[in-house]
Amino acid sequence: MNTVSDVPVDWLALESAFENNAANVRSYMHTVTGDVLRVVDGTAEPGAYTRIATDPLFIQVTPIGSREQFAWMELFIKTVKDPELRERLQCSVVGQGAFRRFKDAVMAHPEKAEWITLRRTKIRNAMDSWLASLSLRPVPRDGGGASAECRAKDAMMRLPKEDFVSVVAALAAKRCLKCGEQRSACVCKPKRTSAKSPVGDTKGAAE
Ligand SMILES: [Zn+2]
């Protein structure tokens, strides 16, 4: 029986390792520190190869293959409500350059929020299963080194799956997480009126 080890996963780096399936890129996660090293053939510093080769705690990350990512696009197209967008996406995935054309078409349309949600959820599922298969339990990556973006991502990744999906959907559609309104129409937070009144606005103070 495997024992479960805690690992402070760097979710942003791990996510990009899962997404990047370019043939000349390999990524490795350290199972104790949670750090992710990315090696690009031809450009990587020799030290990176030595580090990976001599430290058995670095394990290679298998990115999500293009066949699987292609299947997500097909799955999404079936759910598209706007017939014109559906048609455009159907054409976009035929032949060379399908990923780029699909992305350009979907990201220019309001239904991109649904696509982002589907994609983020699939990637989360893949990362969760991978960590579980290695008997690794993600723990918060705190301490001085973690950026605000990193901590926010970490908090997201620890949400239960259903909450994760609704938060991702709200963020993708630029809706307020509290009231569900478009952020431009939301009144949950008093709006920053202008730079003239910085009182109480600690976030902007250091900028
Ligand atoms: Zn609101």
Is the Cβ–Cβ distance between 84 and 92 less than 8 Å? no
CA angle (129, 135, 138) in 5-degree steps: 75
Q: What's the 207 CA to ligand 1 centre distance in angstroms? A: 25
State whether residue 35 is helix, strand or coil: coil
Give the pLDDT confidence score for residue 96 in this predicted structure.
93
Report, as an integer, the average pLDDT of 17-45: 91
Give the pLDDT confidence score for residue 203 in this predicted structure.
43
Q: Among the residues of 34-111, which ranges form H helices?
A: 46-54, 66-79, 83-92, 98-107
Give the pLDDT confidence score for residue 186 in this predicted structure.
86
193 pLDDT band, cuts 50/70/90, is low
Q: What's the 194 CA to ligand 1 centre distance in angstroms? A: 20
Give the pLDDT confidence score for residue 144 in this predicted structure.
61
Q: What's the 118 CA to ligand 1 centre distance in angstroms? A: 24
Give the pLDDT confidence score for residue 201 in this predicted structure.
43
Give the pLDDT confidence score for residue 190 in this predicted structure.
64
Give the H/E segment covering residue 150.
Answer: helix 148-157
pLDDT by residue (tens digit) across 60-110?
A: 999 999 999 999 999 999 999 999 999 999 999 999 999 999 999 999 999
Is the Cβ–Cβ distance between 198 and 205 less than 8 Å? yes
57 pLDDT band, cuts 50/70/90, is very high
Q: What's the 166 CA to ligand 1 centre distance in angstroms? A: 15
CA angle (168, 32, 142) in 5-degree steps: 50
pLDDT at residue 8 greater than cutoff 70: yes
Q: What's the 37 CA to ligand 1 centre distance in angstroms? A: 39
pLDDT at residue 195 greater than cutoff 60: no
Per the confidence metrics, is the pTM higher than 0.85? no
Q: What's the 179 CA to ligand 1 centre distance in angstroms? A: 4
36 forms beta bridges with: 29
Q: What's the 160 CA to ligand 1 centre distance in angstroms? A: 22
pLDDT at residue 117 greater than cutoff 80: yes
pLDDT by residue (tens digit) across 131-144?
A: 999 999 999 887 66
Is the Cβ–Cβ distance between 29 and 35 less than 8 Å? yes
* pLDDT above 90 coverage of the chain, percent: 66
Q: Could you tell me the end-to-end alpha-carbon distance of the chain, in angstroms, rounded to an integer?
A: 51
